[in-house]
Chain A
Amino acid sequence: MATVELTFSALPAHVRTARLVATAIARRTGVEESLLDEVRLAVGEACSRAVEAHRAHCPGEPIRIELRDDSGRFEVTVSDQAPSDETLQEQPLDLGMLSDSFMSGFGIAVIAGLADDVEVFPSPKGMRIRMSWPAAMNGHPSF
């Protein structure tokens, strides 16, 4: 198993960097080209959610991403340190109830729609989102 870890301050500008790093490592790990857009968006969503949560609760604390090549899977874990009570949005859409802040909950719904395998671990000490995609066993796991 090879791992890349990245920590960054809770600034929106850093989310793009995190997306680019995740996409580059996914490609190197052997994730199919057709899935790279999904990796880029899902990682971006997880990092955006974490940045917003940190800015609200603990702006000085860093956000952590782990990117792993694990037996034919490319696995990404985004961990924040902000207390979370978010749940997946499952109600029918009503424009009247949608607000910019409500939309932030869409991030996890989008991730669930994109990643092949997703687990969300909310807790009072922060949220951890683990997601993974298939990667070629003969990829390029030499980080």
Chain B
Amino acid sequence: MDLKLDHRTEDGLTIVEVEGEIDVYTAPRLRELLIDLVNKGNFHLLVNMEKVDFLDSTGLGVLVGGLKRVRAHDGSLELVCTQERILKIFRITGLTKVFGIYASVDEAKEAHGKDK
């Protein structure tokens, strides 16, 4: 399956919907989207990974790159993910300590609201 990307803004949070496989072939498209969003002033990003079938270290690199870019503007990049096979990669690499990971978009929005 290829990669489908979409985004919308709700309550000051830019939600990036990702569907499909994030690997060495498709990750550049996600990287371009994140860079474009940051360049347009969207510094609080929430990446919804509930429909991601596959994620490898290339995809992790893109997410880390995005996080660095938003943090340069005092922003945030957090994730929605409950899939064990995806969470396992974050655990193996220690990135669960770097990203906020939520069980749903609503949960992330609530946490984001409290942080304001």
Contact = CB atoms under 8 A, between A and B. Distances in A.
Do A and B come from the same complex? yes
Nearest to A93: B94
B54 A103 contact: no
Interface in B21-53: 21, 23-25, 31
A100 B65 CA distance: 6
B65 A110 contact: no
Interface string B82-107: 00010001001111011000000000
A109 B64 CA distance: 16
In this complex, the interface size class of chain B, counting residues with CB under 8 Å from chain A, is 20 to 34
A44 to B, nearest CB: 5
A48 B54 contact: no
Nearest to B65: A100
Nearest to A102: B61
Given A93-B97, A95-B68, A110-B93, A16 B23 contact: yes
A109 B21 CA distance: 20
Interface string B71-89: 1000000000000010001
B98 A15 contact: no
B67 interface: yes
B9 interface: no
A107 B92 contact: no
Given A44-B54, A93-B97, A109-B92, A52 B65 contact: no
Given A95-B64, A103-B60, A15 B25 contact: yes
A12 B56 contact: no
B58 interface: yes
Given A45-B57, A100-B61, A104-B57, A51 B93 contact: no
6 contacts: A15-B25, A16-B21, A37-B85, A99-B65, A104-B58, A106-B57
Interface of A: 12-13, 15-16, 19, 37, 40-41, 44-45, 48, 51-52, 92-93, 95, 98-100, 102-104, 106-107, 109-110, 113-114
Lowest 9 CB-CB distances: which A-B pairs, in order?
Answer: A103-B61, A113-B92, A12-B25, A48-B24, A106-B57, A12-B24, A100-B61, A107-B57, A37-B85
Given A12-B25, A103-B61, 19 more contacts: A13-B25, A16-B23, A40-B54, A41-B85, A44-B54, A92-B94, A95-B71, A98-B64, A99-B61, A100-B65, A102-B61, A103-B58, A106-B60, A106-B61, A106-B93, A109-B92, A110-B92, A110-B93, A113-B93
